[in-house]
Amino acid sequence: MSYSIDVCRHVLAIREREGMSFAATATKFKVGVASLELWSKRLDLRSYKRKIRKIDLEQSAEDVRQYPDTC
């Protein structure tokens, strides 16, 4: 069964606030321990934001002028 991100965050927040183990939290919310562990790992990864890289148009145009037949 698939749970929304909001539900996952809510369950993990209660776990952290009450200082519960994964096993106790799983029993309380009737979900698997492995699910809780995956949620914990995945939500940590989702908080990471990637830096958006921009292409320098002048440098790109110069590269095309130098190497016109590589495309």
- Segment 28-45 shows an average pLDDT of 87
Q: Is residue 71 part of a domain?
A: no
Amino acid 70: pLDDT = 67
Amino acid 44: pLDDT = 66
Amino acid 69: pLDDT = 80
Number of domains the chain is built from: 1
Q: How far is CA 54 from CA 25, 31, 51, 57, 67, in A?
A: 44, 43, 10, 9, 21
Q: Is residue 11 part of a domain?
A: yes
Q: Is residue 23 part of a domain?
A: yes
Instruction: Check: CB of residue 24 under 8 Å from CB of residue 14.
Output: no
Q: Can you give the residue range of the structural domain that contains 58?
A: 5-66
Question: Residues with Cβ < 8 Å from 17, sequence gap 6 or more?
Answer: none
Q: Is the pLDDT higher at 23 or at 64? A: 23
Phi-psi region of 30 (alpha: psi -120 to 50; beta: other; left: phi over 0): left
38-68 residue pLDDT tens: 998 887 655 556 667 788 888 888 988 888 8
